[in-house]
Amino acid sequence: MSLVPAATRALRLLRFLAARPGPVSASAIAAGLDLPRSSVYQLLEAMAEEGFVTHLPEERRWGLGVAAFEIGSAYLRHDGVERLARPLLHQLTESTGATAHLGVLHGADTLYLLKEQPPHAAPLITGVGVRLPAHLTASGRAMLARLPRAQVRALYPDAAAFTDRTGRGPTTPGELRRLLEEERRQGWSIEDGQVTEGFVSVAAAASDHNGHPAAAISLTVPSARPVTPQALAGRARDAAAELTRRLDGRASP
């Protein structure tokens, strides 16, 4: 028997939510964990204060919060996702002449973990350790498109959650939702001048064992370069699929 029952219950609750395809009601959590509903509400309120769960009042449901995704991203970084992805990015840069990045979600930001660029490439703001708004980057949107819609709403509840760099990109939850739906259908994301004027990026997401987005691989070239985004996107998707395999992940539908 655990000597810290509250901590054990909180961890079980996190595991329960992580295994679900979307947010669930408190009564469903209580039934799934065989806990009194009053105890579940106390746990949820405490975990919401720390950002590990988020409440969706219109739906009367609870889902994972930003802090849970930050912990997941930290695990991937410490577990060597860079080591698994580095040769893939090196091959992409050599074969396409594009700058390749590996990024993960860090709250509502894209955090760049790796960067491979060809010789004499133009300098880009996207370096290792740099964080940029996820809704503006191809990498970020490739991962956002694979999150449950309720989680995206929690990250972007209103227009105040959106920042701007070049005057391009989504500025409201509705615009972002429509863009993510389109990119979800095509299986890859694109941004043209939303991060840096004169550059276009495409990206595809790799998945973990639950089918959730673990990281994204992107390719960036000058907008004037004579190459179609679709051609680059195919290479990014192949690399993301290989990274999913190396992570023992499960491809999302």
Report the amino acid identity of residue 246.
Answer: R
Which candidate, 80, 179, 96, places its Cα nearest to that of 134?
A: 179
DSSP 15-59: HHHHTSSS-B-HHHHHHHHT--HHHHHHHHHHHHHTTSEEEETTT
Tell me the C-alpha distance between 169 and 244, whole Å. Answer: 28
| Element holding 227 (H helix, E strand) | none
Confirm whether 5-64 and 70-246 share one CATH topology: no
Task: Kindly report, residue by residue over 239-248, the tens digit of the pLDDT.
Answer: 999 999 998 8
| Beta carbons within 10 angstroms of residue 251's beta carbon | 12
Q: Where are the domains of the chain?
A: 5-64, 70-246
**Domain over 70-246 is classified CATH 3.40.718.10:** no
Residue 149, both tokens: 């819609």
Determine the pLDDT at residue 1.
43
Maximum distance among all Cα pairs of the chain, rounded to whole angstroms: 64
**Domain over 5-64 is classified CATH 2.30.110.10:** no
Tell me the C-alpha distance between 201 and 138, whole Å. Answer: 6
Residue 101, both tokens: 């990045």
Task: Kindly report, residue by residue over 133-168, the tens digit of the pLDDT.
Answer: 999 999 999 999 999 888 899 899 999 999 888 888
Mean pLDDT confidence for 80-92:
91
| Element holding 127 (H helix, E strand) | none
Tell me the C-alpha distance between 97 and 237, whole Å. Answer: 17
Determine the pLDDT at residue 208.
87
β-pair partners for 218: 101, 203
β-pair partners for 131: 111
Query: Rounded to two decimals, what is the model's pTM?
Result: 0.70
* Cα-based distances in Å from 188 to 122, 146, 216, 231: 24, 10, 10, 11
Q: State the pLDDT confidence band at 120, using cuts at 50, 70 and 90.
A: confident
